[in-house]
C-alpha cells in the first residue's frame, strides 16, 4: 500500500494533486462568490459547513462498506480484543440479513450525500470566476470536472484505498457505528425496497431462491415488508414515467441531435455497466478474506482473483479508483437523460412537482435502484457467480487502465497521509491471512456468505448444532471440515 516512487508514478501523483488543489480552490471560490445553489440562497458559511460535513461523512460511508463486506467471513473472536469498537458494528451487521439491509440504506446515503455536495458546491449556470479563460471554466466548471475530482478523491477513493486493506482499523470508531445505524434507519423507511424484489426474482431465475438467515417471518412482518416493496416499486415506476415522458418531449438536458430511442438504449446499457461495477466491488470484498480454494474453480473467477490479489493486492484499491472514474463517466450521460428542464407541466402536475423534477432526484432513485442497489444485493448473494462472469474480468482490466492514467492518483497520496497520521495497519497484522487462519485452526466463518447459484460451498448447518467436541475438531483440523463437506455433496 506504500506509494511507489517511480518517475512515472511521481509525475502522476504531482499532476493529480495539483488538479485536485485547483479544483478545491475553484469550488471554494464559487461558494465565496455565492455562485452555488446553497451559497446564493443562504450565504457562503452554511455552504462551506454543509460541503465539509457531507464530504467527511462520505469517507466513512464508502470505507465502512468496504470494511463490513470484507470482514464478513472472518471469525470475530480474532479481533474482539484488538478492535472492540469494530466488533460492535460487525456483531450487529453479521447477524441475520442485516448486511443486506445496511447495503441498501448505505447506497441511498451516498445519493443524498452527493446531492448535498452538489447543492453546496456545484456552479450555477453561467458561473464565472476570477476572469479565468473560457476553455478552463468549460473543463472544470461547466462539465463538473472540479466537483468530480473533489468528491471522488477526497470523499470516496482515498478512503476506499485504505479500507481495502485496513478494514479493522478503519471502522474501529464510533463514527462508523453511527453511520451504520443511519444506513439501517434509511433502509427501514423502504424507499428502495424494490431492490429486494429484484434480488428475489434473480434468485428464482438462477434456480436457487434467496434464503433468509432469519428464518420464517411472522405475518405482520411479511405484510410490512411487502407494503414497503409495493410503495418502492410504485415510486420507481413513477420516476421512470417522468423521465421517459420528459425525454420524448425533448425536456431533458440530453445533447441535441441524439434521437430519444437511441438515448434510451444507451441509457440502459450504461446503467448495466454501472450495475456490474457496483456488484463487482461487493463481490471482490466479499471474497477478499477467504482462501483461494473457496473462490471456486471457474476460469474467469481464477483469472479475476489472480489479477486482484496477487502480491500485495494493490490491484484491489487500484480497481476502486478506476471503477469510480468509469462510474462517474457513465453517470454524466445518465444524468443528462434524467435531468428535466423547464417547460409545460409533466402529467399536468403542479409547479411544485415540476421544481422537484428539476432537482434530478427522480433520476437518483432510478439509478440507485436499477444501477446500484439491485446489483449489489445480487452480488452479495452470489459473489462467486459474479466473479465467474467474463464481463467482470473485462471491466476489471478497463478500470485498472483508467487508474493507470493517473488522473485520480492524488487519492493514493491522500490515503498515505491519512494512514500515516492515524496509524492504520493492514488486517493481516491482527488476524493473518486466510491461509494462516486455516493453518492455526481459526477456520473462517464463510458459511455467513449467503449460499446461491455458483457460490461458495459451506459446511452443513448441522455442524453448528453438533456436540462441542466435534465443533472444536472442525475448527482445529481443516481436513475434518473438508471431509464433512464432501460427504454432503
- pLDDT at 186 (0 to 100): 86
Instruction: Classify residue 167: in a domain, yes or no.
Output: yes
Residue predicted with more confidence, 76 or 53: 53
Instruction: Classify residue 226: in a domain, yes or no.
Output: yes
Instruction: Classify residue 59: in a domain, yes or no.
Output: yes
343 backbone φψ class: left, alpha, beta (φ>0; ψ -120 to 50): left
Identify the band that residue 247 occupies on the pLDDT scale cut at 50, 70 and 90.
Answer: confident
Instruction: Classify residue 141: in a domain, yes or no.
Output: yes
pLDDT tens per residue, range 120-169: 887 776 777 888 888 888 778 777 778 888 888 888 888 877 887 888 88
- pLDDT at 464 (0 to 100): 40
Asked if residue 15 has pLDDT above 80, the reply is yes
- pLDDT at 336 (0 to 100): 66
Residue predicted with more confidence, 348 or 389: 389
What would the grid cell of residue 464 be? 453448528
The answer to pTM > 0.75 is no
The percentage of the chain sitting over the pLDDT mark of 90, rounded to a whole number, equals 3
Give the chain's mean pLDDT: 76
Tell me, letter by letter, the H, E, C secondary structure of the chain. CCCCCCHHHHHHHHHHHHHHHHHHHHHHHHHHCCCEHHHHHHCHHHHHHHHHHHHHHHHHHHHHHHHHHHHCCCCHHHCCCCCHHHHHHHHHHCCCCHHHHHHHHHHHHHHHHHHHHHHHHCECCCCCCCCCCHHHHHHHHHCCHHHHHHHHHHHHHHHHHHHCCCHHHHCCCHHHHHHHHHHHHHHHHCCCCHHHHHHHHHHHHCCCCCCCCCCCCCHHHHHHHHHHHHHHHHHHHHHHHHHHHHHHCCCECCCCCCCHHHHHHHHHHHHHHHHHHHHHHHHHHHCCCCCCHHHCCCHHHHHHHHHHHCCCCCHHHHHHHHHHHHHHHHHHHHHHHHCECCCCCHHHCCHHHHHHHHCCHHHHHHHHHHHHHHHHHHHHHCHHHHHCCHHHHHHHHHHHHHHHCCCCCHHHHHHHHHHHHHCCCCCHHHHCCHHHHHHCCCCCCHHHCCCCCCCCCCCCHHHHHCCHHHHHHHHHCHHHHHHHHHHCC
**Residue 43 sits in which domain range?**
7-458
Instruction: Classify residue 463: in a domain, yes or no.
Output: no
pLDDT tens per residue, range 340-386: 666 666 777 777 776 677 666 777 788 888 888 778 777 777 777 77
71 contacts 164 by C-beta, under 8 angstroms: no
> Across residues 65-69, what is the average pLDDT?
81
Instruction: Classify residue 480: in a domain, yes or no.
Output: no
Residue 204 CB coordination number (10 Å): 11
Q: Can you tell me the distance from the alpha carbon of 373 to that of 101, in angstroms, rounded to the nearest whole number?
A: 10
Instruction: Classify residue 430: in a domain, yes or no.
Output: yes
Q: Closest Cα partner for 331 from 190, 201, 159, 156?
A: 156
Instruction: Classify residue 184: in a domain, yes or no.
Output: yes
pLDDT tens per residue, range 395-445: 888 888 888 888 888 888 888 888 888 888 888 888 777 666 766 655 555
**b/e sequence 455-469, b meaning 16+ C-beta within 10 Å:** bbbbbeeebeeeeee
Q: Can you tell me the distance from the alpha carbon of 90 to that of 174, in angstroms, rounded to the nearest whole number?
A: 13
> Across residues 4-27, what is the average pLDDT?
85
Overall domain count for the chain: 1
> Across residues 80-87, what is the average pLDDT?
86
Amino acid at each position: 500500500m506504500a506509494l511507489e516512487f517511480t518517475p512515472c508514478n511521481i509525475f502522476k501523483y504531482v499532476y493529480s494533486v495539483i488538479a485536485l488543489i485547483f479544483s478545491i480552490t475553484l469550488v471554494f471560490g464559487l461558494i465565496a462568490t455565492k455562485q452555488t445553489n446553497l451559497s446564493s440562497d443562504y450565504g457562503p458559511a452554511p455552504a462551506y459547513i454543509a460541503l465539509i460535513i457531507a464530504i467527511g461523512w462520505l469517507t466513512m460511508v464508502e470505507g465502512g462498506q468496504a470494511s463490513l463486506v470484507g470482514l464478513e467471513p472472518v471469525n470475530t473472536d480474532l479481533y474482539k480484543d484488538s478492535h472492540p469498537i469494530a466488533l460492535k458494528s460487525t456483531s450487529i451487521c453479521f447477524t441475520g440479513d442485516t448486511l443486506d439491509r445496511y447495503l441498501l440504506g448505505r447506497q441511498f446515503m451516498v445519493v443524498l450525500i452527493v446531492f448535498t455536495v452538489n447543492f453546496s458546491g456545484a456552479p450555477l449556470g453561467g458561473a464565472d470566476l476570477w476572469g479565468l479563460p473560457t476553455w478552463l471554466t468549460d473543463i472544470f466548471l461547466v462539465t463538473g470536472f472540479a466537483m468530480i475530482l473533489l468528491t471522488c478523491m477526497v470523499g470516496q477513493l482515498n478512503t476506499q484505498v485504505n479500507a481495502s486493506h485496513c478494514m479493522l482499523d478503519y471502522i474501529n470508531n464510533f463514527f462508523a457505528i453511527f453511520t451504520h445505524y443511519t444506513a439501517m434507519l434509511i433502509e427501514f423507511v423502504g424507499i428502495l425496497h424494490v431492490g429486494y424484489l429484484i434480488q428475489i426474482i434473480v434468485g428464482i431465475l438462477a434456480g436457487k431462491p434467496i434464503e433468509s438467515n432469519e428464518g420464517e417471518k411472522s405475518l405482520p412482518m411479511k405484510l410490512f415488508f411487502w407494503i414497503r416493496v409495493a410503495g418502492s416499486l410504485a415510486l420507481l415506476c413513477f420516476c421512470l414515467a417522468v423521465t421517459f415522458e420528459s425525454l420524448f418531449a425533448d425536456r431533458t438536458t440530453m445533447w441535441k441531435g441524439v434521437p430519444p430511442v437511441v438515448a434510451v438504449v444507451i441509457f440502459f446499457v450504461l446503467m448495466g455497466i454501472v450495475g456490474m461495477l457496483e456488484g463487482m466491488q461487493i463481490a471482490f470484498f466479499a471474497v477478499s478474506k477467504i482462501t483461494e480454494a473457496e473462490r471456486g474453480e471457474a476460469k474467469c473467477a481464477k483469472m479475476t482473483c489472480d489479477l486482484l490479489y496477487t502480491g500485495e493486492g494493490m490491484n484491489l484499491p487500484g480497481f476502486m479508483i478506476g471503477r469510480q472514474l468509469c462510474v462517474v463517466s457513465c453517470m454524466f450521460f445518465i444524468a443528462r437523460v434524467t435531468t428535466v428542464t423547464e417547460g409545460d407541466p409533466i402529467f399536468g402536475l403542479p409547479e411544485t412537482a415540476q421544481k422537484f423534477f428539476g432537482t434530478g432526484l427522480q433520476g437518483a432513485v432510478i439509478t440507485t435502484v436499477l444501477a446500484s442497489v439491485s446489483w449489489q444485493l445480487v452480488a452479495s448473494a452470489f459473489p462467486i457467480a459474479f466473479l465467474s462472469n467474463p464481463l467482470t474480468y473485462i471491466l476489471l482490466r478497463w478500470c485498472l487502465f483508467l487508474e493507470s492514467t493517473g488522473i485520480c492518483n492524488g487519492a493514493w497520496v491522500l490515503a498515505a497521509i491519512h494512514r500515516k497520521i492515524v496509524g492504520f495497519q493492514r488486517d493481516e497484522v491482527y488476524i493473518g491471512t486466510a491461509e494462516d487462519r486455516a493453518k492455526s485452526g481459526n477456520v473462517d466463518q464463510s458459511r455467513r456468505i449467503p449460499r446461491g447459484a455458483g457460490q461458495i460451498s459451506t459446511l452443513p448447518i448441522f455442524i453448528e448444532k453438533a456436540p462441542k467436541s466435534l465443533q472444536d475438531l472442525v475448527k482445529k483440523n481443516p481436513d475434518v471440515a473438508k471431509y464433512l463437506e464432501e460427504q454432503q455433496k
